[in-house]
């Protein structure tokens, strides 16, 4: 039996998207093995989720690098080297709150780093995408938003789209309602996007 493709997941927070990936690998919906979870925050609850699933974890602190007189790029190169040593087939950014530099991406010429972003291509790049979409809806500029999984390039949230899904915004929505709807779709699309990437890899 052929070995399953391997995934390294990068997180910064609660890790609910990581949990979706863990659940999918355990059920067989995602035909892959998560071999490591990396966080840039020591208190990230996602590290607990990984530990409960028996997945090794690593934590790297940008603050520690800066306190030692090193740069953001030094940090990125260190993280990239740690991931490279694991030789994963795919690196998934699942709520990784740190924009990666070209120096990080140069370690992955196979373009096997993907990101989950709560917006459609070309809309609301970068941080606070859900809040900005909700505000645009209230101003009558949009009727829906969405979620996408895309390859990571230096131009933030502009990489090749692997999967996208539109999400309606309802007149009765509060921001929390929209956030909940988006997060439920994120949990599906991050799994589907990872599998779609791995399927393309195996062709």
117 counts as catalytic: yes
**How many Cβ atoms from other residues are within 10 Å of residue 35's Cβ?**
16
Catalytic residue, chosen from 78, 107, 117, 144, is 117
Q: Which residues, at least 6 apart from 180, have a Cβ–Cβ distance to it below 8 Å?
A: none
Three-state SS for the chain is CCCCCEEEEEECCCCHHHHHHHHHHHHCCCCCEEEEEEECCCCCCHHHHHHHCCCCEEECCHHHHHHCCCCHHHHHHHHHHHHHHHCCCEEEECCCCCCCCHHHHCCCCCCCEEEEECCCCCCCCCCCHHHHHHHHHHCCCCCEEEEEEEECCCCCCCCCEEEEEEEECCCCCCHHHHHHHHHHHHHHHHHHHHHHHHHHHHC
Buried b / exposed e over 135-154, threshold 16 CB at 10 Å, is: ebbeeeebeebbbbbbbbbe
Query: What is the set of active-site residues?
Result: 117
């Amino acid at each position: 039996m052929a070995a399953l493709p391997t995934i390294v997941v990068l997180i910064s927070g609660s890790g609910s998207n990581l949990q979706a990936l863990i659940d999918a690998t355990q059920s067989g919906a995602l035909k892959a093995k998560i071999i490591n979870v990396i966080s840039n925050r020591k208190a990230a609850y996602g590290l607990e989720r990984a530990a409960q699933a028996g997945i090794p974890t690593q934590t790297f602190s940008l603050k520690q690098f800066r306190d030692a007189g090193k740069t953001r790029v030094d940090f990125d190169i260190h993280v990239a080297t740690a991931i490279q040593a694991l030789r994963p087939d795919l690196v998934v950014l699942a709520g990784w709150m740190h924009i990666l530099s070209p120096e990080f991406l140069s370690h992955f010429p196979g373009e096997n780093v993907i990101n989950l972003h709560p917006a459609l291509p070309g809309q609301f790049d970068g941080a606070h995408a859900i809040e900005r979409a909700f505000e645009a809806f209230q101003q009558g500029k949009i009727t829906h938003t969405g979620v996408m999984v895309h390859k990571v390039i230096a131009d933030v949230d502009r990489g090749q789209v692997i999967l996208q899904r539109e999400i309606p915004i309802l007149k009765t929505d509060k921001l929390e309602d929209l956030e909940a709807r988006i997060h439920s779709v994120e949990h599906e699309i991050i799994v589907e996007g990872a599998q779609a990437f791995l399927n393309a890899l195996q062709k």
